[in-house]
């Protein structure tokens, strides 16, 4: 007494290749996501920079991004710091790498006195290469 069929047909052989199409699709989607988000990650601090046609991008190998907002808040990179901590971090950077360029992003509405004071702190800390970051004006 046998249960089941007696004739056994050959089952299809397992596929020995990897289908690359889904992998390529996923990688292209990730590439597009990174291409869109990378410029947004570089500068999360929103500022109204002055416009200048004379500014040229610098190719400084080692730089420190410093920003001052209209209310006088100081930023090193994207982290907010107080005046005392700012001076300490500038001195530490000058001792570690004295050839570091400071890229200063000052909002248009920031008081001139505060910008001048910030430049004085940078120079007193031992860093003398200061670059002013501006926006290029839109072509007419």
In CATH, the architecture of 63-132 is 2-Layer Sandwich (3.30)
CA pair distance 136, 57, nearest whole angstrom = 10
Q: Who wins on pLDDT, 27 or 131? A: 27
pTM above 0.85, yes or no: no
Ramachandran class of 35: left when φ > 0, alpha when ψ lies in -120 to 50, beta otherwise: alpha
Kindly state the average pLDDT of the residues 97-118. Answer: 88
Indicate whether 26 pLDDT > 90: yes
pLDDT for 55-64, tens place per residue? 555 565 788 8
CA pair distance 97, 126, nearest whole angstrom = 10
Cβ-in-10-Å burial (0-12, 13-18, 19+) of 87 comes to middle
Domain boundaries, the chain: 63-132
Q: What stretches of the chain adopt beta strand conformation (E)?
A: 63-68, 74-76, 79-81, 101-106, 129-132
Kindly state the average pLDDT of the residues 44-53. Answer: 63
| Residue 132 contacts residue 115 (beta carbons within 8 Å) | no
* pLDDT value of residue 92: 92
CA pair distance 4, 121, nearest whole angstrom = 90
* pLDDT value of residue 109: 86
């Amino acid at each position: 007494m046998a249960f089941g069929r007696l004739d056994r047909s050959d089952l299809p052989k397992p596929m020995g290749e990897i289908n690359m199409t889904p992998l390529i699709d996923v990688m292209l989607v990730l590439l597009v996501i990174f291409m869109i988000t990378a410029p947004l990650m570089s500068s999360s601090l929103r500022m109204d920079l002055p416009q200048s046609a004379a500014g040229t991008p610098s190719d400084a190998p080692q730089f420190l991004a410093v920003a001052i907002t209209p209310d006088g808040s100081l930023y090193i990179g994207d982290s907010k710091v107080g005046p005392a901590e700012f001076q300490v971090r500038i001195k530490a950077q000058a001792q570690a790498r004295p050839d570091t360029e400071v890229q200063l992003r000052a909002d248009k509405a920031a008081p001139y006195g505060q910008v001048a004071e910030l430049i004085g702190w940078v120079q007193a800390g031992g860093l003398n290469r200061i670059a002013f970051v501006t926006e290029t004006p839109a072509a007419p």
